[in-house]
Amino acid sequence: MNATHLAIQVEKQSIYNLSEEELTSWVIKQGIQPFRTKQIWKWLYQKKVNSFDEMSDLSVGTRALLNEHFSLASLQEDKVQYSKDGTIKCLFTLNDGNLIETVLMKHNYGPSICVTTQVGCNIGCTFCASGLLKKVRNLSSGEIVEQILCMEYKLNEGRGTAKPKKISHVVVMGIGEPFDNYDNVLRFIRIINHKAGLAIGARHITISTSGLATKIKTFAEEGLQVNLAVSLHAAKNGLRTQIMKLNKAIPIELLMEAVDYYLEKTNRKVTFEYILLKDVNDQPSCALDLAELILSGNRRHLIYVNLIPYNPVSELDQYQRSDPESIAAFARMLRAKGVNAVIRREHGTDIDAACGQLRSKQLRQ
């Protein structure tokens, strides 16, 4: 392989990184007619081809240019786990050898995917397997889009000629802090939401942040109908800092100011994620603190609480799962105070269910 070959390889980027407008600019620059963009997007997002050569209504020259400039596969399947409840967890190797994981869950409202946005994470949630491994880099928008395409392929494996199933819901809640990779995540959302892209409805997309206050405010200005979830896990600063190191830099007061700004600007609901850790944040006093935080201010009707039973991680033995009775009692106390609270249904408990668990296991090996 000579230097020219190397240069060409380095320049090749995933075609899924490009918005429709960016692809149109590229097409025009190559002297190709702009309407070809629509044809290319159709092959990518509706016909979901695996090679540019399958794009049969494009000229040989256009396909050669696409081959020269872009790649179609940034993700290689490394390991797959299948749960009895239909959950599929995939470990992927990226082009630079880094590992990420993606989870597909089957709900009664349709197949839902949890995507990863960074290789590792710097937020430092002390209960999280992903946080054990520091951030290496951000994922490109194309690498996030491809997680959906790969998992949709898995969803349809073995279904023969039956009508292909589509992933209908997306949660941006896998490894990484999505707002620490803001531009690529927003670009990803716009591509999958685009009617000529994957056409996944904005209200079927949820982005979950650990609480980057400034970015929550920026997100409020985007005019998107995407759902926002915020990982709270404790309603008092001391406890939240113990659970999430980020709270030292962005305490609850700053976070709530940003949440209030978002609520006022968008009038959309916000979900507070609350992972229940036995004898750490699952006591009745914690439920009362949480209710008080939500009910103070004008937030009552727009805040929902999602209670998440903890999936233990072997490297983090300081945390245990709360008893089912404590979880139910916690939910009851919130509801009695007038807070909308649900207990999240669990998926994939018979496989490495915790976020980042499969990846960290593989890296240790």
- The residue within the footprint of ligand SF4, chosen from 66, 123, 228, 239 (CB under 6 A), is 123
What three-state secondary structure class fits 194?
A: coil
Residues in the chain: 365
Please, which residue, 226 or 243, has the CB nearer to ligand SF4? 243
How many residues interact with ligand SF4 (rule CB under 6 A)?
A: 11
- Closest by CA to 358, choosing from 86, 88, 75, is 88
121 contributes a contact to ligand SF4 by CB under 6 A: yes
178 contributes a contact to ligand SF4 by CB under 6 A: no
β-pairing verdict for 227-231 and 270-276:
parallel
Query: Which part of the chain contacts ligand SF4 (CB under 6 A), choosing from 124-132, 214-222, 293-301, 327-335?
Result: 124-132
In the complex, the smallest distance separating the C-beta of residue 128 from ligand SF4, rounded to whole angstroms, is 3
Query: Which part of the chain contacts ligand SF4 (CB under 6 A), choosing from 121-129, 198-206, 260-268, 307-315?
Result: 121-129
User: Which residue lies nearest ligand SF4, judged by its C-beta?
Assistant: 131
Question: Rounded CA gap, 324 and 328, in Å?
Answer: 6
Place of tokens 């949440």: 259
Catalytic pick among 121, 125, 286, 355: 355
Question: Rounded CA gap, 116 and 98, in Å?
Answer: 12
What three-state secondary structure class fits 308?
A: strand
β-pairing verdict for 99-107 and 110-114:
antiparallel
Please, which residue, 142 or 176, has the CB nearer to ligand SF4? 176
**Which residues between 130 and 159 bind ligand SF4 (CB under 6 A)?**
130-131
Residue 111 contacts residue 99 (beta carbons within 8 Å): no
**Which residues between 202 and 261 bind ligand SF4 (CB under 6 A)?**
210
In the complex, the smallest distance separating the C-beta of residue 229 from ligand SF4, rounded to whole angstroms, is 11
The answer to whether 253 is a known catalytic residue is: no
Question: Rounded CA gap, 145 and 200, in Å?
Answer: 12
The answer to whether 77 is a known catalytic residue is: no
In the complex, the smallest distance separating the C-beta of residue 328 from ligand SF4, rounded to whole angstroms, is 24
Q: Helices 141-156 & 182-193, crossing angle to 10 degrees?
A: 40
191 contributes a contact to ligand SF4 by CB under 6 A: no
- Closest by CA to 289, choosing from 231, 330, 234, 211, is 234
Catalytic pick among 101, 146, 152, 177: 101
Residue 89 contacts residue 80 (beta carbons within 8 Å): yes
Query: Which part of the chain contacts ligand SF4 (CB under 6 A), choosing from 123-131, 216-224, 258-266, 299-307?
Result: 123-131
Which active-site residues does the annotation give? Answer: 101, 355
- Give the footprint of ligand SF4 on this chain (CB under 6 A): 121, 123, 125, 128, 130-131, 175-177, 210, 355
